[in-house]
Structure 1
Amino acid sequence: MTYAKPILTALRIYIFLAILCLASFKSVSQTPKQIQGIKQEYRTAKLGVFTDKLKQEFTHEKNTLLATANAKGWKLSERLSDGNYRALTSIGADGTPIYYSTYSTFLNNANRANMLQDKEFLGLELNGEDMLVGVWDAGAALVTHQEFDSRVTVRDDSEVVNSHATKIMGVLVASGKDNKSKGVAYKAKAISNDWGRDKIEVAEMAANGLLLSNHSYGISSSQVPDWYFGSYIDISRDWDNIMVNAPYYLMVTAAGNAQKSGDNESPISGTREEGYDMLLGFATSKNGVTVAAANISTDGHGMLLEASIAGYSSFGPIDDGRIKPDIAAYGSNVYTTGINSRDEYVKASGTSLATPGVTGAMLLLQEYHQKIEGRFMKAATLKGLVLHSADDVGAPGPDYTMGWGVINSRSAADIITNNGYTSLIKEETLKEGETKTYTLKANGKHPLSASVSWTDPVSGKVNTGTLNDMSAALVNDLDIRIQQGDGTYFPWKLNASRAKSPALQGDNKVDPFENITIEKAEGEYTLVVAHKGKLTNGSQNFSLIVSGIAFNDCVLEVPQEITLTKKEATEATFTWKANTDALFQIQYKEKEAQEWTTTTTFDDFYTLTNLVAGKEYTFKVQTFCSDRASSKYSQDYTFHFQGKDADIEGGMDKGPVIGQDPVVDQDPIEDNKPGIVIYPNPVQEYIHFQGEVAPGLHYSIISPAGNTIKKGHSVDKTIYIADMQPGLYILTLVDLEGTKSFKFYKT
C-alpha cells in the first residue's frame, strides 16, 4: 500500500447518547446504532460462555472463601493505617489470600485534557456528553454529590458509599461547580459498582457497548508471595479474555503504590529497595492500560516542562519483559470530591488518582474520533494512539517506571485531526503468512514515528508458582520494521533482568505494542508489518498509527499575492500564488453585507459572478491541506467594482476574519473521459450518473486515508450516500471499459 501521492492527493475529508438498556444494567451510553456498530465484531457467544463461567466460579468461590477465612482467621476487610481500604476477594491457586486494595496516598492541565475541553486552545470543546464510563472500586460513589448532577448511577445495588470511589468519580466526571474539581469528562455519564463481581459486571457491560472502565485498585502487595509480582496469572488472563472478545472495550487500571514497600524480596531485577517488579494481578494483563503516577508541570500551551515518577508509584517490569506500566499521568495532590457532604472537596494522591485522568482523556478521544470519523476506535487503536503520542521522559524510548511516557491528550487529538495529512490511523487485519507494506514520505519537520498495536489472544499459560518466570505471555507476535535503502529500523524493547537499563532497538518478542521513531527522517520509507510463527485463529487484527509524514506537497500557508487579473461586465477574476496540491476556500460578499458566500476550488484562481457596477465587494481566500487542516484567511481584498474596462479601485484590507463551512460549486464534475458526469455536486442523498455507464457497474467511495467507506453495484445509475458523513471523497467507478474517478462533496 502506498501513501505518497496517489489519486487521494486532491482529496481531504471533512467529517464533522440516547437511552440504552444494557442487559441487567439500564444505563445511558452511546446510541443503539453506535452500539450495534461496536458489537458487529464481537465474539458474543464466546463472551457469553465466559461470563457464565465467571458467574459459576464466583458462587463457588464465595462460599469457599467465607469458609476458609473463618477457618484460618483471615480478616474479610479492614481499614489500613494509611487510609486505604482492603477486602478479601479470592484465594489464589496456591492458597494465597487475595486482597483487593485501593491505591490512594494521603490535573487536567497535566494530562493536557484541558486542550480538548476548552474552545480557546484547539476549538474542540469535548466534554464527554452522551458518553458512558464505568468505575469499579471498593464501593459506590456518593451519587448525590453536587458535582455529579444525576449523571452517576449505582448499578449493582452496592450498599457501601465509599470515599475512594467518590474521589475517583470526581476526577472523571465532576461538573466543575467548584472549578478546581472539574473532571476530565465533565458531562459524561458514569456507572459506579463495587469490586465484588467486577469481572462479571464488566463482561456484561462490555458485551453491550461499554468502551472504558476505570479500576483504581488491585491486589494488596503485602499479602502475596514473591512469585506473584510481575506474573501473568489467572486474574490477568480473565481480563484479557474480556478484551479479546469485546475488542472495543478497554480496561484502565492503577499500577499501585508499592514502590517503597519492599514487599517483593526477590525482584527479577535489582534489590527490593530499588522498587522494581511490583506489579500484580490485572495490572500485568497484556491488553489493558496500566497507569503510573508522576509529578508533572506544563506551560500554558500544553508543553511538558518537567516530569518525574512519583515516589510511591509501583514499577514494572512484567517477568516476561513486557513494558509496564504503559503510561504515566499526574497523581499528586489532586483536588476532588469528598464523601462527608454533597459539597465536600478533598485532596488526594496516588496512582488511583492518576488513573481516572487517563480514563477520562481516553473517553474524550473516543468522543472526538466519533465526531469526525463517524465511528469509535477499537481498544487497540485507542491504546496505541495514547502510547504513540505520549511525551517521552528521560532516556529515549520506554522504561519500566513511566512506560511510554506522560500522556499528552493534545498530541493524540492532533493525530486524529491530521489523519490523511500528516498522520495515519488505520485498523487492519494481518492474515497468517501475510506481510503488509506501506510507503511513507517523511514531512521533514517532525520525527517519523510508526506504531502497531493489537489485542492479543488469551494465553493458555499462566504462572502458578514459578518465581520470576520469563515465559512470554504473548500469543500472536506481530513485527514492525521501517526500511530505507539497505537500512532497517527496529522497534523499542526492554530487558526485564536489566530493568534500569535504557531501551534498545531490536526484535520485540513480548509486547502487543511496538513503536519505531526516526528523529531526523527524510525522504521515503517502507513500513513493513509481518508476524512470526502461526497466528491463533489464522489472522490478527491490528491498528497502525503513524505521525510525521506527508500525504502530499501541500503547505499550510496563507495564500499570497492576491491579484484581480480580469474583469467583465458582471465578473471579476482573482488569482493568487499557488500552493501545490491544495484546496482553496474562498469567501466574498458586498462590503456592508453580513453573510459571506463561500466556495472552494483546486485552482489558483476564481471568478466572482453576478457583480453589480458601483458596489464595493470584499474577497478573501485560505488554504486547505485536508478538511481539518487549514491556514488562516488572507487579509480582506476590498474593491469598488465598475464593470468591464473600468478602473478598479481596491486592495488588501486588514478586516476581520469570519469562518464558515465550505460549499462547493453545483456544477457536475467530469472525469478525463468525455461524456461521463456525476450530479449534483455537492450532494445530500443520491449521486446520479450521466453518460455511457455499463449496467451493474461496481463503485467504491474512498476516504483520504485510503479507507473504503462504501462499495457495491449500481443498477440504475444512482448511489445512496445520505448515510455518510459530510466531507470530500473520491468516487471510483469500474466497468468493462476501465476505471473512472471523481471528486465530490457530501453535505
Structure 2
Amino acid sequence: MTYTVPFLFWIRKYILFITFCLVSLLSAAQTELQLQQIRKGTHSAKLGAFTNDLKINFTQEKSQLLQQAKVNGWKLTERLPNGNFSALTAIGPDGTPIYYSTFSSDLNSTTRSNTMHDNGLLNLGINGENMMVGVWDAGSALATHAEFDSRVSVSDQSEVVDSHATRVTGILVASGLDKKAKGLAYKAKAVTNDWTRDKIEVAEMAANGMLLSNHSYGIRPDRVPDWYFGSYISVSRDWDKIMYSAPYYLMVTAAGNAQKSKDNQSPIFGTVDDGYDLLLGFATSKNGVTVAAANIETNNNGELLHATVATYSSFGPLDDGRIKPDIASHGSNIYTTGAKNNNGYETTHGTSVAAPGVTGSMLLLQQYHEEVEGSFMKAATIKGLVLHTADDVNAPGPDYNMGWGVINSKSAVELIANKGYASLISEESLLEGEIKNYTVRANGIDPLSASISWTDPATGVVNIGLLNDMTAALVNDLDIRITKEGEAHFPWKLDGTNADSPAFKGDNKVDPFEKIEVLNAEGTYTITVSHKNNLEGGAQNFSIIVSGIALTDCVLTIPEEVALTTAKNTSVSLNWIANTDALFQVEYKKKGSDHWIVESTFDHFLTLEGLVSGTDYWVRLKTFCSENASSGYTSEYEFSFMGEETELLRLSDYIPLEQKLSFSIIPNPVQELMTLEGNFPLNASYKILSMNGIVVKEGQAIEKQIQIADLTVGLYVLFVQGDQKTTTIKFYKS
C-alpha cells in the first residue's frame, strides 16, 4: 500500500472540496444521522447483554455492600479534610472495601484548545456547538448555574448537587460570562450524573452515540492493600469491555493525587517515597485515557514554554509495564464554576481538573473532524491523535509521570487539517496473519512519526491478589516498524521495573498504542503493521497516524504574479504562477457585496464569467493542497471591468484593498465642485485620470474640495494617496 497520491486523489479531493463548502453551512454535529452512524459501529448485542449483567450484579452487590458495611462498621460516605468526597462503592475480591473519591486538591491556553475557538489563533470557529459530553462524579453539577445557560442536564435524577462535579462541568462547558472561567467547549452540552451506577449509565449512553465521558474520581488509595496498585482488576476490565463494544466511545479519567501519600508500601519500582506505582481501578484500563496534572506555560502562538509534573499527581507504571498516565494537562489554580450559588466561582487544582482539560479538547477535535471529514473519529483514533501530537517533555519519548507529554490541541487539529497532504490518519483493520505496508516520503523538515492505536479486547486475566503481577493485560499485540534500505526503526517503550529510566526503542509487547520517531528523515520509507500470536476474533481494528511526510508535490504557497490576461464583453481571464500539484480557489465579488463567488481549478488560469461592464470587482486567490490544508489568500484587489476595454495588468499593479484609504465623493455624478468625505493624513494627495490613463488634474486631498468645471464630460478616476495607503474612485463629470 503506497501513499504517493495518484490523480484519483485529486478527483476525490475536488468533490470533497465542493461538498465542504456545503458542509460548512449545513453541518450539525451529532445529528440523528450521525448518532445512527455511531450506533451502527457499536456491537449492540454484546453491549446490551453486558449492560444487563451489570444491572443484575449492581442490585446483588448493592445489597451485599450494605450488609457488609453494617457488620464491619464501614462508613458509607465521608467528606475528607481536604474537601474531597468519598463513598463506599464495592467490595474487592479479597474483601477490601472499595471507596471512590474525587481528586481535587487559563486551562484553555495550556491545552491550546482556544486556538480552535471563535477568533482563536487558527480561526476555526470550533466551540462545541451541538456536541455533548458526559460527566460522572460524586454527584450532579449545579445545572442552574448562570454559566451553563440550560446546556447542562442531570440524567440520573441525582439528588446530590456536588461542588466537585460543578467545577469539572464548568471547565468543560462554562459559557464565559466571567471570561476567566470560560470552558474548553463553551457551547457544548453536558449530561451530569453521580457515580453510583456509572458503568450501567455509560454503557447505555455509549450505545446511543455518546463519544466522551469524564471521570475525575477513582479508588481511594489509603483504603486498599498494596497489590491493588498498578493492577489490571475486574473494574478495569469492565470499562475496557464497554469501550471495546462501543468503538466510538472513550473514557477519560484522572490519575489521582497520591504522589506524596506513601499509600503503596510495596511499589514495583523504587521506595515508598518515590511516588511510583499509584494508579488504581479504571485508571489502569487499556483503552481509556488517564490524565496526569502538570504546571504548564505556553505563549500566544500556542507553543509550550515550560512544563513540569505537579507535585501531587500520581505516577505509573502499571504492573505489566504499560505507559500510564497517558497524557498531561494543566491542573493548578484553575478558576471555574462553584456550587454555592448560581453565580459562584472557585479556584481549584488536582488531576480532577486536569482530566476535563483533555476531555474538552477531544470534544472540540471530534467536532472539527466531523465538520471537515463528515464523520467522527473512533475512540482509538482520537486517543492516538492526542498522544501522537502531545508536546514531549524532558527526555525524548514517554515516561511514567506525564505519559506521552502535554496535550497540544493545536498540533492535533493541524494534523487533521493536513490529512491527505502532510499527514495520514486512517482507520483500518488487520486480519489474522496479515501484514500491511505503507510507503511514505519524508518531507525532509519534520521528524517522520508513525503511530498505531487500537481498542483492545477486554478478555484476559485480571489480578485477584498477586502483588506486582507483571502479566500483560494486552490481548491482541500489534506491531509497527519503519524501514528503509534494511534499517528498521522500533517504537518507544518503557521498563516498569526501572521506572525512572528514559524511554528506549524496542519491541513493545504491552501497550495498545505504539509510536516511532525517525529524526532527520529523508527519502522514502516503508511503515509495516503486523501482529504477534493469534488475534482474538480473527481481526483487530486499528488507527494509523503518520506525520512529517509529503503525500503530494503540492506546496502551500500563496499564488503569485496574478494578472488579467484577456477580456471580453462579460468575462475576464486571470493567470498566475502555477503550483503544479495544487487546487486553486479564486473568489470574486462586486464591490460592496457581502457574497464571494467561488471558483476552483487545477490550472494556472481561470475565466470569470458574467461580469457587468462599468462595475468594480474585488478578487483574491489561495492554494489548496488537500481538502483542509490551504495557504493564505493573496491580497484583495479591486479592478474596474470595462468589457473588452478592461486594462490588462498584473493584479499587483492594482492597489490592495488593505492599503486603501476610505472615502467617498459627493455628489457623483458631479458638475463643477466635488467634495471628498473621509479622514485623510496631512500629506494626502490626489490625481484625476482620464480613462486612457492621462493625469488631467492633481493637488492636495487635505483640502477635500476639487474644482472640475474645466473637465470635459465623461468618466474619470480619482486617485488618492497618503501614509503609504491609496484608493481610487470612479466618478462621472456631467
Query: TM-score, normalization: structure 2?
Result: 0.85
Distance 1:582 1:657, change over 3 A: farther
Residue 9 of structure 1, CA deviation:
5.2
In 2: Cα distance, 1:640 partner to 1:29 partner: 42
Matched, 1:130 2:127: no
Q: Following TM superposition, by how much is the alpha carbon of 1:627 offset from its aligned partner in structure 2, in angstroms?
A: 3.0
2:484 corresponds to which residue? 484
Equivalent residues of 2:562, 2:650 under 8 A apart: no
SS in structure 1 of the partner of residue 277 of structure 2: coil
Q: Deviations over 1:641-690 (max 9, x none)?
A: 677699746752342379xxxxxxxxxxxxxxxxxxxxxxxxxxxxxxxx
Report the CA distance shift for 1:312/1:575 in structure 2 as closer, same or farther (over 3 A): same
Aligned counterpart, 2:418: 418
Q: 2:206 — aligned with what? A: 206
Cα drift, residue 624 of structure 1: 1.6
Give 1:159's aligned residue. Answer: 159
Q: Which residue of 2 aligns with 1:308?
A: 308
Q: Does 1:346 align with 2:346?
A: yes
Give the letter aligned to residue 463 of structure 2.
Answer: N
**Are 1:539 and 2:545 an aligned pair?**
no
Q: Secondary structure at the match of 1:630?
A: coil
Task: Describe the SS at the equivalent of 2:362.
Answer: helix
Q: Is the 8 Å Cα contact of residues 589 and 595 (structure 1) preserved in structure 2? A: yes
* Partner in structure 2 of residue 329 of structure 1: 329
Q: Secondary structure at the match of 2:167?
A: helix
* Cα 1:600–1:265 shift into 2, 3 Å: same
Alpha-carbon shift at residue 269 of structure 1 (Å): 0.7
Q: Deviations over 1:285-330 (max 9, x none)?
A: 0000000000001001111100000000000001101000001000
Q: Secondary structure of the equivalent of 1:414?
A: helix
- Structure 2: distance between partners of 1:333 and 1:67: 41
Q: Higher relative contact order by CA 8 Å / sep ≥ 6: 1 or 2?
A: 1
Coordinate RMSD, CA, aligned? 2.2
How far apart are 1:567 and its partner, in Å?
Answer: 5.3
1:633 aligns with 2:633: yes
Shift, 1:606, TM fit: 2.7
Structure 1 residue 351: Cα displacement? 0.2
CA–CA separation in structure 2 for the residues paired with 1:538 and 1:261: 44
- For residues 538-577 of structure 1, the aligned pairs below 5 Å read 538-566=538-566, 572-577=572-577
Query: Per-residue deviation at 1:118?
Result: 2.8
Match of 2:656 in 1: 655
Aligned to 1:705: none
Once the two structures are TM-superposed, the CA of residue 260 in structure 1 deviates from its matched residue by: 0.3
Select between 623-632 and 506-515 the one with higher mean Cα deviation.
Answer: 623-632
Q: Deviations over 1:213-239 (max 9, x none)?
A: 111000000011111100000010000
Aligned AA for 1:125?
G
| Cα distance in 1 between the residues matched to 2:561 and 2:638 | 14
- 3-state SS of paired residue (1:558): coil
Q: Which moved more, 1:405-414 or 1:620-629?
A: 620-629
**2:692 counterpart residue number:** none
- Matched-pair contact (CA < 8 Å) for 1:240–1:287: yes
2:450 is matched with 450
Correspondence 1:100 to 2:100 = yes
CA pair 590-75 structure 1, distance change in 2 beyond 3 A: closer
Contact 2:294 2:332 in 1 (8 A): yes
User: What secondary structure does 1:272 align onto?
Assistant: coil
- Number of aligned pairs? 646
CA contact (8 A) 1:640 1:649 kept: no
What is the Cα deviation at residue 275 of structure 1? 0.3
Equivalent pair of 1:9/1:552 in contact (CA under 8 Å):
no
Unaligned runs of 5+ in 1: 17-27, 659-747
1:164 CA displacement: 1.0
Q: Alpha-carbon deviations, 1:106-149, whole Å to 9, x = none?
A: x1111111111132421211222221111111111111211111
| Distance of aligned partners of 1:484 and 1:73 in 2 relative to their CA distance in 1, 3 Å threshold | same
Cα distance in 2 between the residues matched to 1:82 and 1:201 = 29
- Comparing 242-251 with 444-453, which one deviates more in the overlay? 444-453
Alignment correspondent of 2:109:
109
Q: In 2 relative to 1, CA 544–647 (structure 1 residues): closer, same or farther, beyond 3 Å?
A: closer
Moved more, 159-168 or 648-657: 648-657
One-letter code of the match for 2:158?
A: S
The structure-2 alpha-carbon separation of the partners of 1:612 and 1:188, relative to structure 1 and needing over 3 Å to count, comes to closer
- Could you give the per-residue CA deviations for residues 368-401 of structure 1, whole angstroms, max 9, x where no partner exists? 1111111111111111111111111111110000
Partner of 2:226: 226
Give deviations 1:515-558, integer Å, cap 9, x for gaps.
Answer: 11122221111111111110000000011111121121111111
Larger helix share, 1 or 2? 2
Q: What is the identity, as a one-letter code, of the residue corresponding to 2:94?
A: D
1:31 and 2:52 are equivalent in the alignment: no
User: Are the structure 2 counterparts of residues 599 and 168 from structure 1 closer, same or farther at C-alpha, using a change threshold of 3 Å?
Assistant: same
Are the counterparts in 2 of residues 640 and 650 from structure 1 also a CA contact under 8 Å? no
Displacement after TM superposition at 1:593 (Å): 6.6
Identity rate, percent: 62
Pairs within 5 Å for 1:256-335: 256-335=256-335
Change (3 A) 1:466 1:582: same
Q: Tell me the residue number matched to 1:181.
A: 181
Matched, 1:521 2:518: no
Q: What 5-or-longer segments of structure 2 have no aligned partner?
A: 22-27, 660-734
SS at match of 2:543: strand
Preserved contact between residue 635 and residue 654 of structure 1 (Cα < 8 Å): no
CA apart distance, 1:456: 0.1
Shift, 1:594, TM fit: 6.4
Matched, 1:361 2:361: yes
| 1:619 Cα deviation from its structure 2 partner | 4.6
Aligned in 2, Cα 1:338/1:576: closer, same or farther, shift over 3 Å?
Answer: same
